[in-house]
Structure 1
Amino acid sequence: MRKIKKGKQVIAVLLMMAMVVTSATACGSKKSSEKEQLVFRMAIVDGEASPIYKGAKAMADAVYEKTDGEIKIVVVTGGALGDERGSVELCSQGDLDIASAANSVLTNFIPEMDILDQPYLWENEEQAHAAVDGPVGDLISKAAEDKLNVHVIGYLESGFRDTFSKKPIKSISDFKGVKIRTMQNQFHMAAFQSFGAMPTAMAYNEVFTGLQQGTIDACENAVSNCLSNGYYEVTKNVTYTHHAFTYIPVMMSDKAWKMIPDDLKDEFMEGCEEGYKAERQYLKDANNEAIKELKKKGVKFWNIDMKELKSAYEAEAKKRGFKFDPTWQKAVDQVIAETK
């Protein structure tokens, strides 16, 4: 009986050892084959119907694909994580993974960027894109790291801004006395003053009511916004002033950046680039579609002598003594020279 009992004990011990080895092997296998997914939040102030959202989503999708699902970006819309300035501050502190903000907002942190707020800086989209894809983008990236401790991972955009008005504006003389809402930007305001208009700073969410009540006679933005914000109900004229180009730089906190494994950083950036460059076409499509829809709603579109507008602004800028950082000016001049 003792021998049988002892034999049973030996068998039990062997079985237990086998189970431990199997379990350890299985755990080791699971650990080596499954990597923990990184999830980052990206804040944008636009809604899901906007080209900006489509571009942000394209960045997220491309990153997910190129990293084999190891990195996931969740796009949070409608300013749910704060306004542009607030989200930049959170990102700078490491409390938000990815922020986005118009270039004019970033001048609060990087004053040298005010050169991009100049009206009639770029003649076309190719120049505007060559700037951030080249020497100007390099300066933005360096300044963002030095001053905000963030990494620029892309450039979404709302593109050229045009004028929406109650009365037709077909020439510079038609601007005389027109009360127009602009961003609180000294260069944009100087431009409309040089045209003879009366620029007024107003909160973005008050523009429709301002137009409706007659507080303002006009506003300015990308054409697609005239449709999406319903401005066409109170402004039946769009003038192709193309007076300014708006970028939406996308920035990642240093804390989040350091979480990305070195062997995935190239794939991550490739995905970001693929996505934000796709947004350029989304924006173009949205503007073209908006023009068709607005025409159906009775909105009229007018061309204007942009050379005359540019000359008027440049004379005003000279009178006011507007000057820009020499290094940034050199980069801008390089882009213009190389894309003529």
Structure 2
Amino acid sequence: MKKIIGIKTVLIFMSLLLVLAGCGGEQESVSGEDSNSKEVIELQLGHIATETNPYHLLAEEFKELVEERSNGRLKINIFPNAQLGEERELLEAMTFGNLDLAVITTSPVTNFVPEFGVLDIPYLFEDWDQANTFVESNIADKLLKETEEVGIKTYGFVPRGFRSVTTSNHPVENPEDMDGLKIRVIESEVYLDTINEMGATATAMPWGDAYTAMQQGAIDGQENDYSIIYTQNVPEVQKYLSLTEHIFAVNTLMGSTSNIEQLPEDLQKIIEESAVEATESMGEHNLAEADNLRQKIEEEGMEINEVDKDSFIEAVSDTQEKYSEQYGSTYFQDIKALFD
């Protein structure tokens, strides 16, 4: 039976052997890249969603690829349902080397890498085709590298779908219908400004608190994509889904630079190749599932309605201008140029 140990234990063991080799003269030094090693290195991966959510499906596909390609030398332990913390806490843990991997939506990353906020600019993408065009572009590759400055490797973007507003009391058809509503958003300045300009009062709140807040009436609604609305049981506490489609949600698969770079180079390569393949596959899955999820949400009793989208686009024009100027030609203008 293979002995299962953690990364730090492996490194301590290797260091001791190297010291002994240096003292003994005749002893052979031990390489961390020994492909015949029978030791199993465990990596911990966290995310905030349920086991039925695309967050978890991405994690499982990544796990399967890594464990198969490493011939069992790597084991990925997945911790769903925010067991290891909310997304900001997961990001902080990776920067400090206290967590190996995580599936994260791009919005909380803005608190660590402001450039990621470009993806939260309202109505940046008009449809799935534009989102996929971005993900496959050199601009996306450049943006992925921005997290290296804070000690995080970002392996790929996963298009998740358009975020829309859900409410408990009445449907939303135009910005006037948002007046007086308290809407939960991600902890992001762009989201706060967007929902406030749409006419509601935005309340930043971890997802773990949102369900109870909706259930108790502390907030009137939230905004999210089909996958979160369905898998996080939003129809149990919300009646209406209004297709504002104001922001396109994007996930990422990330790793702690300090932890991953401690691994042998061949295992680092396996992690990167597996992550890229898994993110590409999950993006395709999310697009294929969009209509199915919408139908399931309706079957759960939510009423889905179209909105006067032009009026919402006009309402958030100041937010668009503010953040497009903030990111300038570096990202916003380059992304928009992809669609010209």
1:339–1:74 Cα change, 3 Å: farther
User: Does 1:313 find its partner at 2:316?
Assistant: yes
1:322–1:254 Cα change, 3 Å: closer
Partner of 1:231: 234
Percent of residue pairs identical: 26
Secondary structure, aligned partner of 2:326: coil
Q: 2:84 aligns with which of 81, 84, 95?
A: 81
1:187–1:252 Cα change, 3 Å: closer
Please, which moves more after superposition, 217-226 or 122-131? 122-131
1:38–1:175 Cα change, 3 Å: same
Distance in 1, Cα, partners of 2:284 & 2:88: 26
Kept after mapping to 2: 8 A contact 1:239/1:304: yes
Residue type matched to 1:155 in 2?
F
User: Does 1:300 find its partner at 2:303?
Assistant: yes
**Paired positions, count:** 306
Secondary structure, aligned partner of 2:124: coil
Partner of 2:152: 150
Partner of 2:127: 124
1:92–1:133 Cα change, 3 Å: farther
Distance in 2, Cα, partners of 1:113 & 1:155: 11
Partner of 1:323: 325
Kept after mapping to 1: 8 A contact 2:226/2:290: yes
1:128–1:182 Cα change, 3 Å: same
Q: 1:100 aligns with which of 103, 107, 121?
A: 103
**Cα drift, residue 222 of structure 1:** 1.4
User: Which structure shows the higher helix fraction?
Assistant: 1
Give the TM-score of the pair, scaled to structure 2: 0.78
Partner of 2:339: 339
Residue type matched to 2:162 in 1?
F
Partner of 1:257: 260
Secondary structure, aligned partner of 2:325: coil
Secondary structure, aligned partner of 1:153: strand
Kept after mapping to 1: 8 A contact 2:133/2:338: no
1:338–1:114 Cα change, 3 Å: closer
Secondary structure, aligned partner of 1:101: strand
1:199–1:281 Cα change, 3 Å: same
Give the TM-score of the pair, scaled to structure 1: 0.78
Aligned-residue CA RMSD (Å): 2.8
**Cα drift, residue 164 of structure 1:** 0.9
Q: Which runs of 5+ in 1 are unaligned?
A: 1-30
Residue type matched to 2:173 in 1?
K
Q: Which runs of 5+ in 2 are unaligned?
A: 1-33
Distance in 1, Cα, partners of 2:115 & 2:36: 47
Larger Rg: 1
**Cα drift, residue 57 of structure 1:** 0.9
Residue type matched to 1:313 in 2?
V
1:243-271 per-position Cα deviation (integer Å, ceiling 9, x unaligned): 11233322222333224433454443222
Distance in 2, Cα, partners of 1:92 & 1:131: 26
